[in-house]
C-alpha cells in the first residue's frame, strides 16, 4: 500500500502517521489547477456526465454500483477515472439529498483537496460543501478522514448539514466537541468521517502518545498483548487524512502555539512565591527599575532595579537569594501587572481567568500561561488559583499537522503565505476561480493619529451608511475597543450588536444577521469565520454590506479576511481599511510615524496622508512582521523536532 491510501491495517499498523516531515524548497507553491496535465474543463464535464449516470439509477441499482465503486476505490485509490466516478456519485447524491447541485468551482476545489493541495477559495463560495465532497470520496475509499473546523459550533453544524449526504452514501459521521466523553470520542473517531476542531484532535493525539509511551516500545506492547495484558484502547485510529478549514489560521497564525498535555499538581509553596512576587513587583517603578517590552511581554532590568530587588528580597530568604530566580519570577509578575491587559489578553468570567486567542479574539478555555504567569494573573484579579501543572506530553500545531499522511486545507486567504506552506508542509496552493465576478469596491485606506479619533470617525461614518439603508460590519482588535466603540454608538443613538469574546455564545446568529438592512455589527477578530452573511431584502439595491476594517493587523492576509466579508458570491459590497498610529504594531514605523502625525487632519479626523503612501507604509510594516513571524516559526519547528528526537531517545533507552 502506498502513502496515497493511508488507513489502519497490516502494512501501516493500527496507528498510521508520518514519521518524517515532507521537504520542499522555500519558493514556488502556486498552481492554477489541481492537475496541470489535464484540462479542468474536460474533467468537470466528465464528472457531470458521471453525475447524470448516477442520478438516473434506481435505488437498487445505485446501491449495487456504490458497492462496486467502494471496492475499486479501496483497491486502486481515489485518483484518475475512479475519482471522476466517485465525485460524480457524491455530486448526484448531494443534489438528491441536500437539494444542492455542486458548482463547478466546488468540484475543482474538491479535486485539489484530494490531490493533497491547499485550496484558496474566496469567502462565500461554498467551502463547506467542497470539503464535504472531498471527504466523502476519501471515506468511500476506506480512509479515516478528520475534517477540522474553526470552533465547536461549526463542527456540529457541518456534521449535521452534511450527515444526510454521508448517510446516503453508507458512511458514518462522528462529532467531537469540547464536552465529549472519552468513550464518545473513541466512537466518533471510529466513524468514517469525524468533525472536530484541530485543538480537540491534537490533544486526543497527545493523550494517545502518552498512553503509547507508558506502554513502552512496540515490542513491549506486543509482548503485553500476547500475555493477555491488553492496554486501554486508544482514542484515534492514527493520523491518516485531514481536511483543514480556515487552513491559514491553523497552519500559519497558530502554528507555534504550544499544545501541552499537563497534570495538575497542588503546590502551596508555588502560590506563596507568586504572592510574594506580586508584592515585590508593586513596589517597583517603570522606567526607573525596569523597562517593559509591551509587544514581546519581556522585562529588562536596570542597575537600580536589580539592586533594589535584591535589597527587598533579602528578608525573604530561601530561593529569593538566587538572583536569577527572583528576577524571573518578579519579571513575570511585572508582565502580569503591566503587560497583560484585561479584555485585551484575557477575560475574567465567573471568577475564572480565560485567555484570549491573539489571532481569533475568541476565549480559549483550558489554555493557560506557563512559568507561573497564570497564577500571577489570577492573584492580580482576585480569582481562585489554578493548580500548577506538570507536562506529560507536548507538541505544536506545526508538528501535529506534519504527522498526517495526507493533509489538505481550504481558506480564502492563502496566497501571501504560499512559500512558507510549501516549505514547511510540502503543500501547493490551488487558486479556485470565483463563480461570479467580484463587485467589491475597496475605498482608499486612511490613517488616524489615535484609536480614539478613529473610533469617533467610525461612529460618524456608520451614521452616514445607516442613512443609506446599508448594513455595516466594523472589525476591531480587542474586547476593550469593541466596548469603547459600542459606547460611542450608543451615545449617538445607533442600535447595534457587539460580537466579542464576552458575547460569543450567539456568534453565528449575530454574524448571519449582519447583512440585514440597517444592522450594525461590531466584532473583534472572531467575526464569525465560516458563517455566511446573507443580504436582506433591498440591501443589494442599496450597495450591499459595508465593512470597516479597524483592525491593526500584522498581516495583509488578515485584512483580506475581514474585507472578504463584503461582496460575496457576486453581490455588491464595499470596504475600508482604517489604521491608528498609537497602536503598538505601527510603532516600528520610525520616522514615518512622526511625519504622519505632523500632517493636518481632514474634515473627518483622518490625517491628510496620500493613499499611496498609506498602502506602501502598511505593506512594508506588515511584510516585516510577516517575515519575522516566518523566521520564528521555522526556528521553533527546528527546536520542536530536536526536543522530540531527544524525548524519543530517552524513551528508547529508559
- Residue at 650 is within a domain: no
Are 95 and 235 within one domain?
A: yes
Sign of CA dihedral 505, 509, 512, 515: negative
Q: For 601-638, b where at least 16 C-beta lie within 10 A, e where not — what string?
A: eeeebbbebeeeebeebbeebbeebbeebbeebbebbe
Residue 361 · residue 500 · CB < 8 Å: yes
Are 54 and 183 within one domain?
A: yes
Ordered DSSP codes for 592-609: HHHHHHTSPB-TTS-B--
What local confidence, expressed as pLDDT, does residue 179 receive?
87
Distance between CA atoms of 224 and 228, rounded to whole angstroms?
6
Is it the case that residue 35 has pLDDT exceeding 50? Answer: no
Half-sphere CA count of 99, side-chain side, radius 13 A: 1
- Residue at 135 is within a domain: yes
Cα angle for residues 398, 402, 406 (degrees, 5° grid): 135
Is it the case that residue 452 has pLDDT exceeding 60? Answer: yes
The DSSP letter of residue 525 is T
What local confidence, expressed as pLDDT, does residue 161 receive?
94
Mean pLDDT of 246-265: 82
Lowest-confidence range among 301-310, 339-348, 576-585, 599-608?
Answer: 599-608
Q: Count H helices, E strands: the chain? A: 23, 21
Q: Which domain holds residue 372?
A: 266-387
* Structure confidence at residue 582 as a pLDDT band (50, 70, 90): confident
Mean pLDDT of 501-530: 75
* Structure confidence at residue 1 as a pLDDT band (50, 70, 90): very low
What local confidence, expressed as pLDDT, does residue 2 receive?
42
What local confidence, expressed as pLDDT, does residue 372 receive?
84
Highest mean pLDDT among 27-41, 158-172, 385-399: 158-172
Higher pLDDT pick, 312 / 151: 312
* Structure confidence at residue 20 as a pLDDT band (50, 70, 90): low
Distance between CA atoms of 35 and 50, rounded to whole angstroms?
19
What local confidence, expressed as pLDDT, does residue 219 receive?
63
Q: Which of 375, 406, 431 is the last residue of a domain?
A: 431
Mean pLDDT of 292-304: 89
Are 316 and 174 within one domain?
A: no
Are 76 and 136 within one domain?
A: yes
Query: Tens digits of per-residue pLDDT, 517-549?
Result: 999 999 887 555 667 788 999 999 999 999 999
- Residue at 21 is within a domain: no
Residues near 147 by beta carbon (within 8 Å), at least 6 away in sequence: 131, 132, 135, 158, 193, 194, 195, 196, 242, 243, 245
Query: Tens digits of per-residue pLDDT, 323-355?
Result: 999 999 999 999 999 999 998 889 898 889 988
Are 198 and 314 within one domain?
A: no
Q: For 351-371, b where at least 16 C-beta lie within 10 A, e where not — what string?
A: eebbbbbebbbbbbeebbbee
Q: Which of 354, 387, 420 is the last residue of a domain?
A: 387
Are 204 and 91 within one domain?
A: yes
Q: Dihedral angle at the C-alpha atoms of 193, 198, 199, 204, nearest 10 degrees?
A: 40
* Structure confidence at residue 387 as a pLDDT band (50, 70, 90): confident
The CATH code of the domain that includes 130 is: 3.40.50.300
Is it the case that residue 37 has pLDDT exceeding 60? Answer: no
Lowest-confidence range among 115-124, 174-183, 252-261?
Answer: 252-261
Could you tell me the end-to-end alpha-carbon distance of the chain, in angstroms, rounded to an integer?
33
Q: Dihedral angle at the C-alpha atoms of 490, 495, 499, 502, nearest 10 degrees?
A: 50
Is it the case that residue 647 has pLDDT exceeding 60? Answer: no
Q: Percent of the chain at pLDDT above 90?
A: 56
- Residue at 654 is within a domain: no
Is it the case that residue 106 has pLDDT exceeding 90? Answer: yes
Mean pLDDT across the chain, nearest whole number? 86
What local confidence, expressed as pLDDT, does residue 116 receive?
94
- Residue at 637 is within a domain: no
Mean pLDDT of 551-578: 90
Q: What are residue 59's phi and psi, to 5 degrees? A: -60, -40
Are 241 and 363 within one domain?
A: no
Query: Tens digits of per-residue pLDDT, 40-99?
Result: 889 999 999 999 999 999 999 999 999 999 999 999 999 889 999 999 999 999 999 999
Q: What are residue 597's phi and psi, to 5 degrees? A: -60, -30
Higher pLDDT pick, 327 / 649: 327
Total domains, the chain? 3
What local confidence, expressed as pLDDT, does residue 612 receive?
92
What's the burial of 174, exposed, middle or buried (CB within 10 Å: 0-12/13-18/19+)? buried
Lowest-confidence range among 142-146, 456-460, 636-640?
Answer: 636-640
What local confidence, expressed as pLDDT, does residue 505 receive?
57
Is it the case that residue 421 has pLDDT exceeding 50? Answer: yes
What local confidence, expressed as pLDDT, does residue 69 receive?
97
What local confidence, expressed as pLDDT, does residue 500 receive?
75
Report residue 494 as a C-alpha cell.
Answer: 445607533
Query: Tens digits of per-residue pLDDT, 163-208?
Result: 999 999 999 999 999 889 999 999 999 999 999 999 999 999 999 9
Tell me the C-alpha to C-alpha distance, in Å, between residue 345 and each of 122, 250, 295, 359, 564: 30, 19, 12, 11, 26
Distance between CA atoms of 247 and 255, rounded to whole angstroms?
10
Higher pLDDT pick, 462 / 5: 462
Are 486 and 521 within one domain?
A: yes
- Residue at 628 is within a domain: no
Q: Dihedral angle at the C-alpha atoms of 644, 648, 650, 651, nearest 10 degrees?
A: 130
Report residue 196 as a C-alpha cell.
Answer: 472536530
* Structure confidence at residue 584 as a pLDDT band (50, 70, 90): low
Residues near 186 by beta carbon (within 8 Å), at least 6 away in sequence: 233, 234, 235
Q: Percent of the chain at pLDDT above 70?
A: 87
Distance between CA atoms of 303 and 299, rounded to whole angstroms?
13
Lowest-confidence range among 167-181, 228-242, 329-343, 596-610?
Answer: 596-610
Are 214 and 287 within one domain?
A: no
The CATH code of the domain that includes 368 is: 3.90.1440.10
Are 459 and 410 within one domain?
A: no
Residues near 583 by beta carbon (within 8 Å), at least 6 away in sequence: 451, 477, 552
- Residue at 203 is within a domain: yes
Are 274 and 315 within one domain?
A: yes
Residue 527 · residue 507 · CB < 8 Å: no
Tell me the C-alpha to C-alpha distance, in Å, between residue 155 and each of 3, 99, 149, 198, 615: 27, 21, 6, 10, 37
- Residue at 25 is within a domain: no
Are 171 and 58 within one domain?
A: yes
Higher pLDDT pick, 283 / 653: 283
Is it the case that residue 645 has pLDDT exceeding 70? Answer: no
Is it the case that residue 238 has pLDDT exceeding 90? Answer: yes
What local confidence, expressed as pLDDT, does residue 265 receive?
72
Ordered DSSP codes for 60-126: HHHHHHHHHHHHHHHHH-S-HHHHHHHHHHHHHHIIIIIS----HHHHHHHHHHHTT-EEE--TTS-
Is it the case that residue 314 has pLDDT exceeding 70? Answer: yes
Amino acid at each position: 500500500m502506498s502513502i496515497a491510501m493511508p488507513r489502519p491495517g497490516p502494512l501501516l499498523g493500527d496507528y498510521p502517521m508520518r514519521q518524517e516531515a515532507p521537504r520542499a524548497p522555500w519558493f514556488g507553491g502556486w498552481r492554477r489547477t489541481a492537475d496541470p496535465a489535464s484540462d479542468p474543463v474536460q474533467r468537470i464535464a466528465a464528472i457531470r456526465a458521471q453525475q447524470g449516470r448516477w442520478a438516473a439509477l434506481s435505488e437498487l441499482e445505485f446501491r449495487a454500483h456504490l458497492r462496486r465503486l467502494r471496492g475499486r476505490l479501496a483497491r486502486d485509490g481515489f485518483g484518475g477515472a475512479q475519482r471522476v466516478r466517485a465525485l460524480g456519485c457524491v455530486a448526484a447524491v448531494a443534489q438528491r439529498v441536500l437539494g444542492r447541485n455542486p458548482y463547478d468551482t466546488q468540484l475543482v476545489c474538491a479535486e485539489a483537496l484530494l490531490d493533497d493541495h491547499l485550496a484558496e477559495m474566496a469567502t462565500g463560495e461554498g467551502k463547506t460543501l467542497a470539503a464535504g465532497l472531498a471527504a466523502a470520496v476519501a471515506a468511500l475509499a476506506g480512509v479515516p478522514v478528520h475534517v477540522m473546523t474553526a470552533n465547536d459550533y461549526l463542527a456540529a453544524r457541518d456534521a449535521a448539514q452534511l450527515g444526510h449526504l454521508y448517510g446516503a452514501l453508507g458512511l458514518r459521521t462522528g462529532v467531537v466537541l469540547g464536552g465529549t466523553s472519552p468513550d464518545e470520542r473513541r466512537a466518533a473517531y471510529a466513524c468514517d468521517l469525524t468533525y472536530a476542531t484541530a485543538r480537540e484532535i491534537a490533544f486526543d493525539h497527545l493523550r494517545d502518545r502518552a498512553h503509547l509511551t507508558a506502554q513502552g516500545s512496540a515490542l513491549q506492547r506486543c509482548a503485553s498483548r500476547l500475555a493477555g495484558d491488553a492496554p486501554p484502547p486508544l482514542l484515534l485510529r492514527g493520523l491518516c487524512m485531514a481536511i483543514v478549514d480556515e487552513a491559514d489560521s491553523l497552519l500559519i497564525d497558530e502554528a507555534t502555539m504550544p499544545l501541552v498535555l499537563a497534570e495538575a499538581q497542588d503546590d502551596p509553596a508555588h502560590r506563596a512565591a507568586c504572592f510574594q512576587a506580586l508584592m515585590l513587583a508593586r513596589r517597583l517603578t517603570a522606567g526607573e527599575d525596569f523597562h517593559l517590552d509591551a509587544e514581546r511581554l519581556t522585562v529588562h532590568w536596570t542597575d537600580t532595579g536589580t539592586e533594589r530587588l535584591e535589597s527587598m528580597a533579602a528578608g525573604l530568604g530561601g530561593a529569593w537569594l538566587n538572583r536569577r530566580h527572583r528576577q524571573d519570577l518578579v519579571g513575570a509578575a511585572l508582565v502580569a501587572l503591566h503587560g497583560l491587559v484585561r479584555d485585551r489578553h484575557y477575560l475574567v468570567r465567573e471568577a475564572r481567568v480565560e485567555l484570549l486567542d491573539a489571532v481569533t479574539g475568541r476565549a480559549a478555555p483550558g489554555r493557560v500561561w506557563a512559568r507561573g504567569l497564570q497564577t500571577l494573573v489570577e492573584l492580580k484579579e482576585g480569582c481562585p488559583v489554578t493548580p500548577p501543572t506538570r507536562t506529560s506530553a507536548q507538541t505544536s500545531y506545526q508538528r501535529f499537522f506534519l504527522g498526517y499522511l495526507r493533509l489538505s486545507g481550504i481558506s480564502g486567504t492563502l496566497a501571501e503565505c504560499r512559500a512558507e506552506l510549501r516549505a514547511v508542509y510540502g503543500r501547493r496552493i490551488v487558486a479556485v476561480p470565483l463563480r461570479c465576478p467580484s463587485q467589491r469596491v475597496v475605498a482608499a485606506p486612511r490613517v488616524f493619529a489615535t484609536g480614539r479619533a478613529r473610533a469617533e470617525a467610525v461612529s460618524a461614518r456608520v451614521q452616514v451608511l445607516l442613512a443609506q439603508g446599508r448594513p455595516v460590519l466594523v472589525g476591531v482588535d480587542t474586547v476593550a475597543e469593541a466596548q469603547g466603540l459600542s459606547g460611542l454608538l450608543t451615545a449617538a443613538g445607533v442600535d447595534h450588536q457587539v460580537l466579542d469574546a464576552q458575547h460569543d455564545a450567539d456568534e453565528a446568529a449575530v454574524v448571519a444577521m449582519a447583512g440585514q438592512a440597517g444592522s450594525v455589527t461590531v466584532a473583534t477578530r472572531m467575526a464569525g469565520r465560516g458563517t455566511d452573511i446573507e443580504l436582506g431584502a433591498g440591501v443589494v439595491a442599496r450597495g450591499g454590506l459595508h465593512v470597516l476594517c479597524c483592525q491593526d493587523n500584522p498581516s495583509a492576509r488578515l485584512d483580506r479576511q475581514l474585507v472578504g466579508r463584503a461582496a460575496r458570491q457576486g453581490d455588491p459590497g464595499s470596504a475600508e481599511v482604517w489604521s491608528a498610529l498609537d497602536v503598538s504594531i505601527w510603532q516600528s514605523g520610525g520616522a514615518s510615524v512622526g511625519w504622519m502625525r505632523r500632517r493636518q487632519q481632514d474634515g473627518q479626523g483622518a490625517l491628510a496622508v496620500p493613499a499611496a503612501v498609506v498602502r506602501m507604509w502598511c505593506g512594508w510594516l506588515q511584510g516585516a512582521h510577516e517575515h519575522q513571524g516566518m523566521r520564528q516559526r521555522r526556528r521553533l519547528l527546528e527546536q520542536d523536532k530536536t526536543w522530540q528526537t531527544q524525548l524519543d531517545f530517552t524513551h528508547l533507552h529508559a
